[in-house]
Amino acid sequence: MNIRYFAWLREHIGASSEDITYDQTVKTVSDLVDVLRQQSTGHQKALADMTLVRVAVNQVYVDIDHPVTAHDEVAFFPPVTGG
């Protein structure tokens, strides 16, 4: 599973991308967030308040209860500020 981080989440985590070995117990984005929070204090900080975070699975916006599978690209980022 490939995880992508952007903007301040990337800064807290210290990486723009990481590969995570798929864990069978991870069924949804929410489960994945629980696993990622254990990785480091940076992860914990970045993913502490999910109301501040948007999620995309395979580059499509999803909710926190969206299912994830082994070959998904899951991205976490703040609300967008382009334009």
* Residue range at the interface with other proteins (CB under 8 A); choices 25-33, 34-42, 63-71, 75-83: 75-83
Spacing of C-alpha 81 from chain mean position: 19
* Residue range at the interface with other proteins (CB under 8 A); choices 20-28, 32-40, 43-51, 73-81: 73-81
Q: Is 15 in the site for other proteins (CB under 8 A)?
A: no
Residue 28 DSSP one-character state: B
44 neighbors 34 (Cβ within 8 angstroms): no
Helices (H) and strands (E) in the chain, counts: 3, 5
Q: Is 61 in the site for other proteins (CB under 8 A)?
A: yes
Q: Is 22 in the site for other proteins (CB under 8 A)?
A: no
